[in-house]
Amino acid sequence: MTRFRLTVEYDGRPFMGWQRQAHGPSVQQAIEQAAHAVTGEPVTVHAAGRTDAGVHALAMAAHCDVERPIAPFRLMEALNARLRPQPVAILACAEAPPDWHARFSCLGRRYLYRIANRRAPLALETGRAWRIARPLDALGMHAAAQSLVGLHDFTTFRSARCQSESPVKTLDRLDVWREGDAVLIEAAARSFLHHQVRSMVGCLALVGQGQWSGDDLRSALAACDRAALGFNAPPDGLYFTGADYSSFEIDYQ
């Protein structure tokens, strides 16, 4: 039995999310079906995170165990061939230690949210960015975002369907900056609550449009009440960008 580490890129629009489910297609199901076709074995794929319907990934870390002897490059090529034409690609594949786990060995996760801050509709990025026509103050958004960094009770920014045992999380970084007509928001933490990033982005958008102040954002956090949430951003602009592991395990990226 060989454990393989996979780096996966996908467009989340056709899927109900990463996790296999009964009521629609998932990224996990697509890869598992491809792996079964390649190996002839029932294969379970585990990921560093569980993205929602419509959320994308630039570099999702995942792993699977395969009994059949196969080289990592051949497995990657075969999986990609079987995954076509679905918008899922295996970017890298390598052997991993048998005790390495994409989810439980993960020390940090990173997300990027893309806002297209322009009046014109999206011709090329529909479903891949959130368009906001009103001008956004990216510097003001970044300044306000720093009040969310650190150890907090993020109940306000937590989905009612969140299965995490505790709403208390440590947010390591929440940066906002502008590149042309794009406003980018990057979040990093060991783990996130369900909808936490989208909820934070929605509130920061209110700050950027002048509808909320930094004090309003701090009050929403302190309320520890989902009813205090200003807005939940759509999934369109959210990307899982990477998972962090120890210095030894980083060789498998």
Q: What is the pLDDT of residues 117-156, one digit of tens each?
A: 999 999 999 999 999 999 999 999 999 999 999 999 999 9
The pLDDT-based confidence of 19 (bands split at 50, 70, 90) is: very high
pLDDT at site 247: 55
pLDDT at site 162: 74
Of residues 239 and 252, the one with the higher pLDDT is 239
Indicate yes or no: pTM above 0.85: yes
Question: Is 26 in contact with 15 (CB distance < 8 Å)?
Answer: yes
Q: How many helices (H) and strands (E) does the chain have?
A: 5, 10
pLDDT at site 231: 87
pLDDT at site 225: 94
Encode pLDDT of 20-66 as tens digits. Answer: 988 899 999 999 999 999 999 999 999 999 899 999 999 999 999 99
Six-digit token pair at 2? Answer: 């060989």
Selecting from 1.10.8.640, 3.30.70.660, 3.40.50.1370, 1.10.3720.10, what CATH number does the domain 108-242 have?
3.30.70.660
Encode pLDDT of 79-104 as tens digits. Answer: 999 999 999 999 999 999 999 999 99
What is the mean pLDDT of the segment spanning 163-185? 94
- Mean of all residue pLDDT scores within the chain: 94
Whether 253 has a pLDDT exceeding 70, the answer reads: no
pLDDT at site 159: 84
Q: Which residues does 110 contact at the CB level (< 8 Å), separation at least 6?
A: 186, 187, 188, 240, 241, 242, 243, 244
Whether 163 has a pLDDT exceeding 90, the answer reads: no
pLDDT at site 161: 76
Q: Is-same-fold flag (2-105; 108-242)?
A: yes
Structural domain spans, the chain: 2-105, 108-242
Whether 164 has a pLDDT exceeding 80, the answer reads: no
Neighbours of 67 (CB within 10 A): 11
CA–CA dist 125, 178 (Å, integer): 17
Active-site residue numbers? 52
The pLDDT-based confidence of 17 (bands split at 50, 70, 90) is: very high
Selecting from 3.50.50.60, 3.30.70.580, 3.60.21.10, 3.40.50.80, what CATH number does the domain 2-105 have?
3.30.70.580
The pLDDT-based confidence of 249 (bands split at 50, 70, 90) is: low
Half-sphere exposure of 238 (CA within 13 A, CB side): 25
Encode pLDDT of 177-220 as tens digits. Answer: 999 999 999 999 999 999 999 999 999 999 999 999 999 999 99
